[in-house]
Amino acid sequence: MLEFAFIGLAVVAVSVLLLTLAKNKKQTKLMKLQNQEIEKRVKELEQRNDELQKNNQEKVQLVSLVSHDLKGPFNRIFALTQLLN
């Protein structure tokens, strides 16, 4: 009789273990899918960040060019106003 109790207990323990393993396997698969999605988004963000850095650099160069081109005429206007005063 005691042997049947141990067998029954062992069957329950094995069943619980198998259910836990199945649950862990599902969770592992879900985590792998989530990791793949995260890696994909990280790559997209890195690419977008590179584009934004390039655009920012172009903006800085454009502002520098425009300010340099405007400096001459403004200096001439300033000099003329100084002469008039």
Read off the pLDDT of each residue in 29-41 and give the average, rounded to a whole number.
Answer: 93
pLDDT in tens, 74-83: 888 888 888 8
What is the model's pTM?
0.57
Element (H, E) at 6: helix 2-84
User: What amino acid is encoded at 8 in this protein?
Assistant: G
Domain total for the chain? Answer: 1
- Residue 61 in any domain: the answer is yes
Boundaries of domain holding 41: 31-85
- Residue 80 in any domain: the answer is yes
- Residue 23 in any domain: the answer is no
pLDDT in tens, 40-72: 999 999 999 999 999 999 999 999 999 998 998
Show Cβ contacts of residue 68 under 8 Å, excluding neighbours closer than 6 positions. Answer: none
